[in-house]
Amino acid sequence: MIKISLKDGAIKEVEKGISILELAKQISEGLARVATAAEVNGEVKDLRYILEEDSNVNILTFENDLNGKKAYWHTTSHIMAQAVKRLFPEVKLAIGPAIDEGFYYDFDVEKPFTDEDKKNIEIEMKKIIKEDLPIERFTLPRKEAIELMKQKNEEYKVELIEDLPENEEISFYKQGEFTDLCAGPHLMSTGKIKSIKILSSSGAYWRGNESNKMLQRIYAISFPKASMLDEYINLLEEAKKRDHKKLGKELELFMISPEGPGFPFFLPKGMELRNVLEDYWRKIHKKNGYVEIKTPVILNEELWHRSGHWEHYKENMYTTKIDDVDYGIKPMNCPGGMIVYKNKMHSYKELPIRAGELGLVHRHEKSGQLNGLFRVRCFTQDDAHIFCTPEQIEEEIEGVIKLVDEVYSLFGFEYSIELSTRPEDSMGSDELWELAEGALKRVLNKLGREYELNEGDGAFYGPKIDFHIKDCLKREWQCGTIQLDFQMPERFDLNYIGEDGEKHRPVMLHRVIFGSIERFIGIITEHFAGAFPTWLAPVQVKVLTITDEQIDYATKVKEELEKREIRVELDSRNEKIGYKIREAQLEKVPYMLIIGQKEKEENTVGVRSRKDGDIGAIKFEQFIEKVEKEIKNREK
């Protein structure tokens, strides 16, 4: 017998050699029906995986875990590949992973898939699901695995196998006549998949390398219930309406020019929005004991060697020469923050030092990955670097988490937390990494925060906490992060004078909250569908005249609002009032003030609210009081 520790803390004794699926059945027949995979001692495994020793087991379902969804989607990606091979036998298979929302498969095909092709592929996928083919896993030695793929004329699979370690056994999954190279995990049969939908197709370079052949990628999704697919399709339609690239153009917020792919231009209204965000950032950071600094965009290559970025991040950096000396255009603000700290010797009495920077950084992104404000080549990080003593670490982490709470709640965002631990290409000793990871875990536990453990995905200089905000369409965005760093202060020889009069090494926290100002603007544009809260809206009030006779009074209204620092526009064009109102509605302005002859004579304004509709005529002073209160309180 072996002991199995379940996620809820229960210990279950079972016979050695039991499979995960059999374990699930012993726990509950209902659980076995919906199980998709399991985590065994932190590693994701098949339901067919055999338990041979005492283990920690967490059985995954589509509903309860992203890895559970990915097992479901990965299985469906094989069904799609099988359908394509049935319809287009000459097609060669590349890769077909599950992603955070659905899956894709890359195919080497003579010509792009047409809409009719995709319709037929979907029909064939449904046939394969109905056939309920058992899915079997088997392994082969490397040489035999290569021979099998050569027989099937799958050259991309051969290349993948040849890149694997020589002594490693290679795993495959078989369903009916279809066999694919794969590490898994997969469901037990094709019939477990219920609702499917092919979403789109595009070109994709083999292995993401532009010098390789262009393949055809098909994106798709699947769900265990038809109602879940319907909800997803509805959300996709809503997302199209909220697309920040579309709204950014319509609302005149930003533009991307062919002269600068990946380098966004902010237009006047976009700058109003951006400046409000940055002003809020400055106020809340000042309130929380931060000072603001600014560091150069270009610094010499030696600095990037010292920081470790040249070794770990060079392929994403832009470089230049100045006076025959090599320089790097900064992809991160941290090394500049080190130089600022090192500008003078500090005492323990000064610590913690919380230095914030709205720093412009540049990172090379491939052209195919660029996406509006979500994926750009230059962006502003709302960085802060906290230099503290070892004793202050946990209190400072706690302070950052509370600041994250305050900021995200203002925009109506809920969030989840992910703790990422030491990666393979890390710097520093085991002892320091254990100390750093332990500090992050203790703070999260102290605050009672649930978190997902993401093994091996920390920064090369330290473990991190990532904050994933959830928008109104239930999409998750990784924005905020806290990174605990013992390495950079060592590399830059940072010191402070301790209470004992001796030099000591400070600890450094890297943290962002918005993440990237540009990306955050993209996120909130879609979250609010361009209808920003009054405090954030680029234009808060639009004054509309009915005839030319009211222009003088309307101008006085506009000037008074401007004196109160309320962002206002006047529309005195010789157009019908209905036309002006519709245009202001499309611009998603929070308030319209309709000025007719009666309003002019009575010193009132006719108020139309984006949220509450036609409010009617009220005294102008009363309106000012209302809108000023709304802006001051940053009401949603």
The count of other CB atoms within 10 Å of the CB of residue 109 is 15
Measure the CA angle with vertex 556, ends 553 and 559; round to 5°: 155
CB 452 within 8 A of CB 428: no
Of these residues, 216, 330, 334, 527, which one is catalytic?
A: 334
3-state secondary structure of 29: helix
Of these residues, 381, 392, 540, 550, which one is catalytic?
A: 381
Of these residues, 78, 242, 510, 558, which one is catalytic?
A: 510
Distance (Å, rounded) from C-alpha 78 to C-alpha 100? 17
How long a stretch of residues is the chain? Answer: 636
Instruction: Measure the N-to-C terminal CA separation of the chain; round to a whole number of Å.
Output: 58
Distance (Å, rounded) from C-alpha 60 to C-alpha 74? 14
Distance (Å, rounded) from C-alpha 243 to C-alpha 373? 11
DSSP string computed for 271-301? HHHHHHHHHHHHHHHHHTT-EE----SEEEH
Residue 363 annotated to the active site = yes
Of these residues, 117, 383, 466, 571, which one is catalytic?
A: 383
Cβ burial of 235 (10 Å; 0-12, 13-18, 19+) is: middle
Distance (Å, rounded) from C-alpha 122 to C-alpha 313? 41
CB 467 within 8 A of CB 419: no
Rounded alpha-carbon distances, angstroms, from residue 112 to 109, 215, 294, 400, 537 = 7, 9, 49, 49, 43
Instruction: Show the tokens assigned to 427.
Output: 């710097």
What is the CA 10 to chain-centroid distance, rounded? 34
Residue 383 annotated to the active site = yes
Distance (Å, rounded) from C-alpha 300 to C-alpha 336? 11
Distance (Å, rounded) from C-alpha 422 to C-alpha 429? 11
Of these residues, 74, 330, 464, 600, which one is catalytic?
A: 464
Residue 381 annotated to the active site = yes
Selection from 78, 92, 71, 277 nearest residue 174 by Cα: 78
260: DSSP letter? S
Distance (Å, rounded) from C-alpha 391 to C-alpha 401? 18
The answer, yes or no, to whether the previous bond of 185 is cis (omega within 30 of 0) is yes
445: which residues sit within 8 A by CB, 6+ positions away? none
CB 294 within 8 A of CB 359: yes
List, by residue number, the catalytic residues: 334, 363, 381, 383, 385, 464, 510
